[in-house]
């Protein structure tokens, strides 16, 4: 690392520290709701990845997809002595905002990062739910035909969506990213891989197929979100066998 690069990194770290100070001051003084102060910090945050509180955080995936909720989790640790714990849990574990907010307002508050947030939604979240939708299709087909196999579910999903086995895709991903060979992958690495799979699917299928598969993932995500909201609306928050 050059001296200039090192100096730039230090300036970025100092800027992030100042953002945390200003966020805490706004919340402690009561001049701004904690969620708005947190979103302001998210909008200004200059670091794509960092080690903090004994953990590595990777906010920007593939240089394009922004996991704002992961950054919110990291910033919440700076506010947890100032805000009711239940409010933080509602946001981080259940995705419930503490304030009523339209999507247009959320977009305004995130600023330029909102476009990268949408990349994360479609490139990671929707891709994950698309894989789940295909998994359910495969499971139903195997049950209907009474064909039971030990394992290979991941390979079947990947073959249908991406045209190769999971290990073949993972090897291609590692080679493209200049990563060591192997089949082990961290949670952060899995999100990088999922985003890479999304881009692989877009590159290798015709637009109509891409749109159809993406819509299937969106529908699955909306279905899971509806089920989650129903569960949270119950007094005990428990699932019901009769639902």
Residue 207 has pLDDT above 90, yes or no: yes
Q: Where do the H-state alpha helices sit in the chain?
A: 3-29, 34-44, 68-76, 85-94, 103-110, 113-120, 126-144, 153-162, 166-176, 187-204, 207-233
pLDDT at 29 over 50: yes
166 closest CA partner among 152, 175, 174, 155: 155
Query: Which three-class secondary structure string do you get for 158-185?
Result: HHHHHCCCHHHHHHHHHHHCCCCCCCCC
pTM: 0.85
Mean pLDDT within 60-79: 96
Lowest mean pLDDT among 48-62, 73-87, 134-148: 134-148
Assess contact for 28 and 81: CB atoms under 8 A: no
pLDDT digits (tens, 9 = 90+) for 208-226: 999 999 999 999 999 998 8
Q: Which of 55, 80, 87 is nearest to 70 (CA)?
A: 55
Cα distance between residue 1 and residue 157, in whole Å: 42
């Amino acid at each position: 690392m050059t001296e200039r690069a090192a100096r730039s990194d230090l300036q970025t770290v100092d800027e992030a520290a100042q953002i945390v100070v200003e966020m805490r001051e706004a919340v402690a003084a009561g001049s701004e709701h904690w969620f708005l102060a947190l979103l302001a910090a998210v909008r200004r945050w200059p670091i794509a990845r960092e080690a903090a509180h004994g953990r590595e955080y990777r906010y920007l995936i593939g240089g394009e997809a922004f996991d704002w909720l992961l950054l919110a989790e990291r910033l919440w640790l700076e506010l947890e002595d100032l805000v009711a714990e239940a409010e933080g849990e509602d946001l981080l574990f259940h995705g419930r905002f503490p304030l009523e907010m339209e999507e247009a307002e959320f977009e305004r508050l995130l600023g330029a990062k909102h476009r990268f947030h949408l990349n994360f939604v479609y490139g990671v979240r929707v891709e994950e739910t698309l894989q789940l939708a295909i998994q359910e299709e495969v499971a139903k087909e195997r049950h209907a035909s009474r064909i039971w196999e030990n394992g290979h579910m991941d390979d079947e999903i990947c073959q249908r969506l991406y045209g190769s086995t999971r290990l073949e895709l993972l090897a291609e991903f590692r080679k493209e990213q200049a990563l060591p060979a192997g089949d082990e992958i961290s949670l952060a690495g899995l999100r990088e891989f999922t985003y890479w799979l999304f881009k692989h699917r877009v590159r290798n299928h015709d637009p109509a197929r891409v749109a159809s598969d993406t819509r299937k993932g969106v529908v699955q995500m909306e279905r899971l979100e509806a089920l989650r909201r129903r569960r949270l609306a119950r007094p005990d928050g428990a699932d019901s066998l009769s639902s």
